Amino acid sequence: MTYINKGVPGIDQYITLNEPDVGAVLPKELYPQNAEVPMLFKPLTIRGVTFHNRIFVSPMCQFSSDNGHATDWHFVHIGGFATRGVGAVCMEATAVVPEGRISPQDAGLWADSQIAPLKRIVNFVHAHGVKIGVQLSHAGRKASTTASWLRFNSDRTAKTAKYIAEAEEGGWPDRVFAPSEIQFSPEYPKPKAISEEQIQAVVDAFGQAAERCKAAGFDFIEIHAAHGYLLHSFNSPLSNTRTDQYGGSLENRLRFPLQAIERVRAVWDKPLFVRISATEWAEGPEQDPTTGEWKSWGIEQSKIYVGELKKLGVDLVDCSTGGNWIKQKITSVPGYQVPFAEALKKTYPDLPIGAVGMITEPEQAESYLREGKADIVSLAREFIRQPHWAILAADKLGVAVKAANQYERGFPHLIGARHP
């Protein structure tokens, strides 16, 4: 009998082979407790791509890129999730043009030289059987700001009086664009209204970045159309007061985001996700009950928007909220955004929907999927605290999943459950 520490076949270095993939359910023949698998650990196939569980790492800006290029920080940060049991990782907001970065150290995919460091990360993640996507973005009127830790304390209270990254700080406050010349808040840059020609250039840039995603080998793209960034800011009558074909009616306010998403869909045949903010939490009703006029952005328009996304062939809507209205009042309780995901799911039962926002407990996450409120869950802050959350969640829900070979000894009770 020979015992060979097998490597992943067909790759350019030795990486130990995990069988099954890290985070996949172990065979029920060896693990009788796996006869019944919780929803969180049931595979999901979207457009031919199979995610071995439904736990996603939500995109998290790291403010750590080198002129838009991923660095060893990203390799360690993202690679660390791939070795710890998730179904997929979505890389952070990645700007399609330099002026679409939130901060000077944001990620980008506007140049071919940005492909190689991403490809290295993608290859490593794939070697563990995990799927990886990237969130393509344009920060709009929230661009040219400083890294979050310069602006905010860890509880998100303000640290500085202004958030703008000035030219001498690597910023571009004179090239910040928005639907209209409306600042997000006095601490942010004063934006210029983007011209129709510039809109088309951004649409093209989304398409070109999607081409680069192919070269990097990503499994999915998520378009960032949430949190008050450029695409989302076109949705809302509070930030978009244009009088051309991109402002006014709901149809007009959806036009630019739909054009950008359509362009990506045209060049990208793998799964395409869109993150939206399903409400901006503004005061008062979304629609004037007497005149029918839309007053702010909310769930009723989001439902119409998602219907259009579905027609374009979008494969999953990642349902977030907020970020466009400075006076937003959010009651941040566990699962505070799930009712919005649920409303979209009810409207489009056959469209995969993602839930995100203060999902921290395995039973909580499992309940959203079991009750049909969403199809996947994304976690951000809890993964910072507990990178092994997926394996720990499996343990809590009573299912045995594969830990990375090198980490199995940290979970002896899971191994101990094995009996032929």
Q: Which residue ranges make up the site for ligand FMN (CB under 6 A)? A: 58-61, 92-93, 135, 224, 226-227, 275, 320, 356-359, 379-382
Task: Provide CB contacts within 8 A for 374, sequence distance 6+.
Answer: 319, 338, 341, 342, 345, 353, 354, 355, 368
What is the nearest approach in angstroms of ligand FMN to the Cβ of residue 138? 12
As to burial, measured by CB atoms within 10 angstroms (0-12 exposed, 13-18 middle, 19+ buried), residue 293 is exposed
Q: Please, are residues 218 and 210 in contact by the beta-carbon 8 Å criterion? A: no
On the question of a cis peptide bond just before residue 20, with omega within 30 degrees of 0, the verdict is: yes
- Find, among 53, 36, 34, the residue nearest to 369 by Cα: 53
Q: Please, are residues 316 and 351 in contact by the beta-carbon 8 Å criterion? A: yes
Q: What are phi and psi of 213, to 5 degrees?
A: -65, -35
Does residue 312 come out as left (phi exceeding 0), alpha (psi in the -120 to 50 range) or beta?
alpha
What is the nearest approach in angstroms of ligand FMN to the Cβ of residue 347? 21
Q: Which is nearer to ligand FMN, 171 or 322 (CB)?
A: 322
Q: Which is nearer to ligand FMN, 62 or 180 (CB)?
A: 62
Q: Please, are residues 353 and 344 in contact by the beta-carbon 8 Å criterion? A: yes
Q: Which is nearer to ligand FMN, 136 or 417 (CB)?
A: 136
Q: Which is nearer to ligand FMN, 65 or 301 (CB)?
A: 65
Q: Which is nearer to ligand FMN, 191 or 228 (CB)?
A: 228
What is the nearest approach in angstroms of ligand FMN to the Cβ of residue 210? 17
**What is the identity of the amino acid at 215?**
A
Task: Provide CB contacts within 8 A for 306, sequence distance 6+.
Answer: 276, 317, 344, 347, 348, 351
User: Measuring CA to CA, how many Å separate 110 from each of 57, 206, 325?
Assistant: 24, 9, 28
Does residue 323 come out as left (phi exceeding 0), alpha (psi in the -120 to 50 range) or beta?
left
Q: Please, are residues 79 and 15 in contact by the beta-carbon 8 Å criterion? A: no
- 188 an active-site residue? no
Q: Which is nearer to ligand FMN, 135 or 144 (CB)?
A: 135
Half-sphere exposure in the Cβ direction for 133 (13 Å, CA): 30
Q: Which is nearer to ligand FMN, 100 or 129 (CB)?
A: 100
What is the nearest approach in angstroms of ligand FMN to the Cβ of residue 238? 20
Q: Please, are residues 321 and 330 in contact by the beta-carbon 8 Å criterion? A: yes
Q: Which is nearer to ligand FMN, 96 or 359 (CB)?
A: 359
d(CA 371, CA 413): 29
- According to DSSP, the residues that pair with 318 across neighbouring strands are 275, 354
| Residue indicated by tokens 């490593």 | 124
Q: Please, are residues 134 and 89 in contact by the beta-carbon 8 Å criterion? A: no
Q: Please, are residues 70 and 114 in contact by the beta-carbon 8 Å criterion? A: yes
What is the nearest approach in angstroms of ligand FMN to the Cβ of residue 396? 17
What is the nearest approach in angstroms of ligand FMN to the Cβ of residue 224? 5
What is the nearest approach in angstroms of ligand FMN to the Cβ of residue 155? 12
Residue from 31, 229, 246, 368 carrying the catalytic annotation? 229
What is the nearest approach in angstroms of ligand FMN to the Cβ of residue 364? 11
User: Measuring CA to CA, how many Å separate 76 from each of 58, 146, 389?
Assistant: 16, 23, 17
Residues taking part in catalysis: 229
